[in-house]
Chains A and B, each alone.
Chain A
Amino acid sequence: MNRLQNLFKNKTNNLLSIYFTAGYPELNSTVAIAEALEKSGADFLEIGFPYSDPVADGPTIQHSSEIALENGMTLHVLFEQLKDLRKTVSIPILLMGYVNPIVQYGVESFCKKAAEVGVDGVIVPDLPMYEYEALYSKYFIDNNLSNIFLVTPQTTEDRIRKIDELSNSFIYLLSSSSITGGSLDVSTGIEDYYKRIKAMQLKNPMIIGFGISNKTNFDKACEYANGAIVGSAFVKLLQDEDYLSKIPAFIKSIKS
């Protein structure tokens, strides 16, 4: 059992995950941000590794990726930065990024290295279910890494069941069909969608992401799921000069 699975075993509501891009705002800010987030009360973390063509991301995360690449962030650099991570950070960590940098690194080597530095799961939005299952799942399983799948309001029930079957920690529920950094849709349609999925009684917990930026929509998301992920709103905070000192207040403002 990895840290992620362990977390969900012990805590089933109001889980807060924070996304940030490795190498942003500074090349070496990655570990310090992770430490500050754990101290401030985040339940788990998603560390993004940057890609030049992030189609699922809105302007805020696109910008952070561009800066991170300019700063010299690569998967090799990131794994080097994370090699002592587990001495100071104990909450579950996911890596999030696009498939091409992983393919270039080598999927098997990537999984081994991720496990070695203490990563618990991976989110790769553009890695399709078929390719995951047929080509790569063995590397994830061998290294005790959870692969996280996304579900949108348009995902069919059959497909959600299949995703539930392939998942072993949580399912990432998108608040709407959108790129990152939008606003949370609280129309009736979206409530129906959350209720529909809740009624399916899936074996995996659910975490809502995309458009979660403050306490109001975090609380709303937690009514329907086990927790929520804040990404763009946190990445925006990192634009401030003294971003590390502002992290505790940010987490408190969402999860008080």
Chain B
Amino acid sequence: MKYGVNDLGYYGDFGGAYIPEMLYPNVEELRQQYLTIIEDPAFKAEFDDLMKNYVGRPSPLYHAKRYSEKYGANIFFKREDLNHTGSHKINNAIGQILLAKRLGKHRIIAETGAGQHGVATATVCALMGIECIVYMGEIDMQRQAPNVSRMKMLGAKVIPATSGSKTLKDATNEALRDWIANPVDTHYIIGSVVGPYPYPDMVARFQSIISSETKKQLLEKTGNELPQYVMACVGGGSNAMGMFYHFLDDENVKLVAVEAAGKGVDSGHSAATTFLGREGVLHGSRTILMQTDDGQVIEPYSISAGLDYPGIGPQHAYLYKINRAQYVSITDDEALQAGLLCSQLEGIIPAIETAHALAYLEKIQFKKDDNVVICISGRGDKDLDTYIKYFGF
């Protein structure tokens, strides 16, 4: 694969495994084993079975007729919101829990921001009967209380991250500290295409089911497996990487990744990493991150808790740098309006993360025969409070 990871764990200048020695054995064990395990036919069979019968895949590729009319192109929604637990996060959680079992791990840790990855991880741990500890920023626990309750109901222990800014990046730090202290029996299920190699590649592979299904579904519906545009929102970038994955080598397919501009790229309250960030090292990989001149990580802002991450996955940093994908941004207001539009034109209330991708449809001049796929990464139930407050329903 032309845009894939090399033997050293790099995508161009990005990636690698910038981890303290205490994490080396854990990460090295994964590096040595992940491909063998996930390419094993028995693993694939178990993964496919759970994807079909537990998650409810394949997720539909829905031809959004009223959207198509409005934007003058054939708009297709890849419906990850219909997955069990309500987002694409379950694809990766299932993959990694099966991997953890084969590595003989008895204890799972995870970080979560909005709680979607935490809920997905708590779900698969319940399914497999494995102990689950989720780290979540203290502030996020207040903002996303229903997901905290969900995780607890599923049997997970939720530990507040009280250091630093008390949000996603700090929850990630706490999970890494836990992993340092528990190097033998614990597997860390990272929720996005971030972290030290092999995580970005491993998570991308588990999420790539999104684009492999899409190709087949497009062929059925349009007679061509390749669309003109593929679009998705980006925080760390796991739904986008899953959505792009099998289209990366098809150079004529335009890939559009939508970041969260928050209150505006120049407002000082933004999470538009490629606009505001510089190259550096965050959470174990060399990537693009928002930071001060002195190299301190800046806490980003977005109304969407799933997009306010100060970095992006290293493969995204690479696709950005070489211009294989276009990275753009959408403000809070634009996203919320798009969420309302999608609800009222298509009867689908999208997650606010997803609404960022939908909002960018306004900014592209399509030709009428263009086929456009947009990843509906999650459903908006978790965001109802925010929508209600904003629109005053």
Residues of A within 8 A of B (CB): 51-56, 58-59, 62, 66, 69, 74-76, 98-105, 125-128, 130-131, 149-152, 154-156, 159, 174, 177-179, 182
Contacts and interface: CB of A to CB of B under 8 A. Distances in A.
Contacts of B180: 55-56, 177-179
B293 A66 contact: no
A203 B20 CA distance: 23
Contacts of B296: 51-52, 69, 101
Contacts, number: 109
Contacts of A150: 20-22
A100 B20 contact: no
A52 B164 contact: yes
A130 B8 contact: yes
Contact of B294 (A104, A125, A127, A177): A104
Contacts of B163: 59, 62, 66
Contacts of A182: 181
A101 B21 CA distance: 19
Contact of B16 (A51, A52, A128): A128
Nearest to B8: A130
B297 interface: yes
A177 B295 contact: no
Interface residues of B, number: 34
B177 interface: yes
Interface stretch (B95-103, B204-212, B278-286): B278-286
Interface of B: 8, 16-22, 24-25, 163-164, 169-170, 173, 176-177, 180-181, 183-184, 278-284, 291, 293-297
B294 A128 contact: no
Contact of B297 (A53, A74, A128): A53
B19 A126 contact: yes
B105 to A, nearest CB: 15
Contacts of A69: 296
Contact of B284 (A66, A102, A126, A177): A126
Given A56-B20, A101-B296, A104-B291, 15 more contacts: A53-B173, A53-B283, A100-B280, A100-B295, A100-B297, A101-B295, A103-B280, A128-B17, A130-B16, A131-B16, A131-B18, A154-B24, A154-B184, A155-B21, A177-B22
B282 A151 contact: no
Nearest to B27: A128
Contact of A179 (B8, B17, B181, B281): B181
